[in-house]
Chain A
Amino acid sequence: MVNPQAYLSEKLFSPDIEKVPTRNGYGEGLVLSGEKNKNVVVLCADLSESTRSEYFQKKFPERFIEVGVAEQNMASLASGMALAGKIPFISSYATFSPGRNNEQIRTTIAINNVNVKIGGAHAGISVGPDGATHQALEDMALMRVMPNMRVISPCDALEAKKATIAAAEIEGPVYLRFARAGTPLFTTEKTPFHFGKAEVFWIGNDVTIVASGPLAYEALLAVSLLEKEGVSAEVINNHTVKPLDKETILASLRKTKALVTVEEHQVAGGMGSSVLEMLAQNFQVPAEMVGIQDRFGESGTPEELLNEFKLSHPFIMEAVKKVLRRKKT
């Protein structure tokens, strides 16, 4: 059953639930952070509209810096600004930042341990028709293996807004991951969001689904249908991929003793991998991973691609059934 403490939307499973891209929450969060703290500045590499950093540009033109198509320069410019006391957010598509500028982030931001926030838009397969070159599927892996870096992958636009505000308040480097397509707005202002703290969205006993990003909604759809088939699954919304909330995840798995991880990212090196790395050292259970299986993306509509890459709720249901069979034997 849905966790009442999660305060999810009353329209949770209604067909007319509003759909908003998580990148919109980034734009709104930037404006609110800019209002709170005048040290917040935003840099953008010729993508101000589609990363939504234009919301900030309109409100604070004097604190918005256009760098042109130059993501490597942007990362190190931001490092310099952070060293001069600013809180820079750098905005682009995730394939370019933290993709193209990975080494600049590593040396000038992460080793330096400076206060730069990286906003990566157009992450995941649901980018759609642009195709493989624009669908970031390795970004969380790149960022979570980097010392000093934190990684947040919000599940909807509201959580994205909260995550952006939280990032401005954290001292040090943070990577924020956003999607292009509109996805259900299923949390509310009251839904708890604490950096580093995973939230139980659905309470169950037989299996734990740890999800992050907009696919957390697909996980909820899956468990609501599974409940009708007599399967009781728990859903944890694991927005903070690094540092991982060991306690919440372990407590759930000690109860259910079976795991399914769900993410719009390569299964190698992603959020699910980080959960399994932690479990290997603490508490072992059978696990299935829903995610991209060592393939690049391609053109298509978001819906076509979520099905082709086996990420939508029927595939999560299948993974749950498979892990339950493994749990019994």
Chain B
Amino acid sequence: MPTQKQYSIAQLEKKANEIRQDIITMLLEAKSGHSAGPLGMADIFTALYFKVLKHDPKNPEWEDRDRLILSNGHICPVRYAAMAHAGYFKKEELMTLRKFGSRLQGHPERARLPGMETTSGPLGSGLSQASGMAYAGKYLDKKDWRVFCLMSDGEQECGQTWEAAMFAAKNRLDNLVAIIDRNNIQIDGFTEDVMPLEDLKAKYEAFNWHVLEIDGHNMEEIIDACNQAKAIHQKPTLILAHTIPGKGVSFMENDFKWHGTPPGVSDMPGEPAKDEQAKIALKELRTLQGKISSEHE
């Protein structure tokens, strides 16, 4: 059985930073796609692929693997980058994102890329699929692989998310861990302006889920929460991960304009000129927003 190599927290943080840089380079090359969500979820994807998940990049269909369902498919650049780093495919392929003939479709397609698990993009159906898998694993096949489902906060506005939440609790799917990217933005603005979601924790608790709240950029908290979830019996676990959309790139952080805009295609008021955007973003990532003077690779 393949096991995860032992990475230190510092190594994982460095990996997440490299993945962020890849996201910028991929989006710049693709000339379309989403910036904010992928940058905000780089730490969580790094923790999952390099610490938490039981998986085998050389055998993506391995029967006993943990399943990772990405419900909010538009943030797929971060998953593609993490998969490349984990060894599912060569990093050069990242540059084909969103291009004709690519396995890295604008929104992920299961049949094209081994390891993708499912097709998504249209929001709100991931938790249902994850619950279906978890039900099959726990009750029908009695296997001990686990199911992780990543969702966005915008998706909490979809009725289907709550239909799935009820099903998972009714069926005591303790092999299911949902992670919400609580970054407070969606397309038309901040979630609490578009459609208020709070109190999200209390809502899931009322639906009979076990809820853990974490800083989604704190590697230790992410890993601890995933481990804690294993000890929760008879309930599905929700990890409510507070994140900063656009994390690591100052002009993208906490700004919903960057939801679906890549660097390098549009001049926007108050933002760096389009030709400068990727350069500034990459420099900020390399220097941890100026905190270190010598850029590291």
Which chain A residues have a beta carbon within 8 Å of chain B's beta carbons?
44, 46-50, 66-70, 72-73, 95-96, 99-100, 128-134, 298-301, 304-305, 308
For the side of the interface on B, what is the size category?
20 to 34
Report if B188 contacts A (CB, 8 A): yes
Can you sample 18 A-B contacts with CB below 8 Å? Answer: A46-B154, A66-B188, A67-B195, A68-B157, A69-B195, A96-B122, A129-B32, A129-B98, A130-B121, A131-B107, A131-B109, A132-B105, A132-B109, A133-B107, A133-B119, A134-B106, A300-B100, A300-B101
Residues of A contacting B109 in the complex (Cβ-Cβ under 8 angstroms): 131-133, 298
Is A300 in contact with B122, judged by CB distance below 8 angstroms?
A: no
Least CB separation from B112: chain A residue: A298
Nearest 10 CB-CB pairs, A to B? A68-B195, A300-B100, A133-B121, A68-B157, A129-B98, A131-B106, A131-B105, A130-B106, A69-B157, A304-B100
Is B121 in contact with A48, judged by CB distance below 8 angstroms?
A: no
A46-B187, A47-B188 are contacts. A129–B157 as well, Cβ < 8 Å?
Answer: no
Tell me, rounded to whole Å, the shortest Cβ–Cβ distance linking B265 to chain A.
12
Interface 1/0 per residue, B105-128 and A, CB below 8 Å = 111010000000001111110000
Report if B90 contacts A (CB, 8 A): no
Tell me, rounded to whole Å, the shortest Cβ–Cβ distance linking A285 to chain B.
36
Q: A207 CA to B154 CA in the complex, in Å?
A: 50
Report if B33 contacts A (CB, 8 A): yes
Is A298 in contact with B194, judged by CB distance below 8 angstroms?
A: no
List which B195-213 residues lie within 8 A (CB) of chain A.
195
Report if B59 contacts A (CB, 8 A): no
Tell me, rounded to whole Å, the shortest Cβ–Cβ distance linking B81 to chain A.
17
Tell me, rounded to whole Å, the shortest Cβ–Cβ distance linking A68 to chain B.
3
Tell me, rounded to whole Å, the shortest Cβ–Cβ distance linking A91 to chain B.
11
Is B157 in contact with A299, judged by CB distance below 8 angstroms?
A: no
Tell me, rounded to whole Å, the shortest Cβ–Cβ distance linking A191 to chain B.
32
Q: A50 CA to B187 CA in the complex, in Å?
A: 10
A-side interface mostly:
loop
Q: A50 CA to B102 CA in the complex, in Å?
A: 25
Least CB separation from A54: chain B residue: B188
Report if B58 contacts A (CB, 8 A): no
Report if B30 contacts A (CB, 8 A): yes
Residues of A contacting B32 in the complex (Cβ-Cβ under 8 angstroms): 128-130
Is A66 in contact with B195, judged by CB distance below 8 angstroms?
A: yes
Q: Which of B99, B157, B195 contacts A300 (CB 8 A)?
A: B99
Least CB separation from A67: chain B residue: B195
Report if B270 contacts A (CB, 8 A): no
Residues of B contacting A132 in the complex (Cβ-Cβ under 8 angstroms): 105, 107, 109, 119
List which B71-113 residues lie within 8 A (CB) of chain A.
73, 98-102, 105-107, 109
Least CB separation from B103: chain A residue: A299
Q: A66 CA to B187 CA in the complex, in Å?
A: 12
Tell me, rounded to whole Å, the shortest Cβ–Cβ distance linking B187 to chain A.
5
Report if B273 contacts A (CB, 8 A): no
Tell me, rounded to whole Å, the shortest Cβ–Cβ distance linking B78 to chain A.
17
Least CB separation from B257: chain A residue: A49
Residues of A contacting B102 in the complex (Cβ-Cβ under 8 angstroms): 299
Least CB separation from B187: chain A residue: A46
Residues of A contacting B124 in the complex (Cβ-Cβ under 8 angstroms): 69
Residues of A contacting B122 in the complex (Cβ-Cβ under 8 angstroms): 95-96, 99-100, 133-134
Q: A95 CA to B155 CA in the complex, in Å?
A: 16
Q: A55 CA to B122 CA in the complex, in Å?
A: 25
Q: A130 CA to B119 CA in the complex, in Å?
A: 13
Report if B186 contacts A (CB, 8 A): yes
Residues of A contacting B120 in the complex (Cβ-Cβ under 8 angstroms): 133
Is B187 in contact with A129, judged by CB distance below 8 angstroms?
A: no
Tell me, rounded to whole Å, the shortest Cβ–Cβ distance linking A15 to chain B.
23
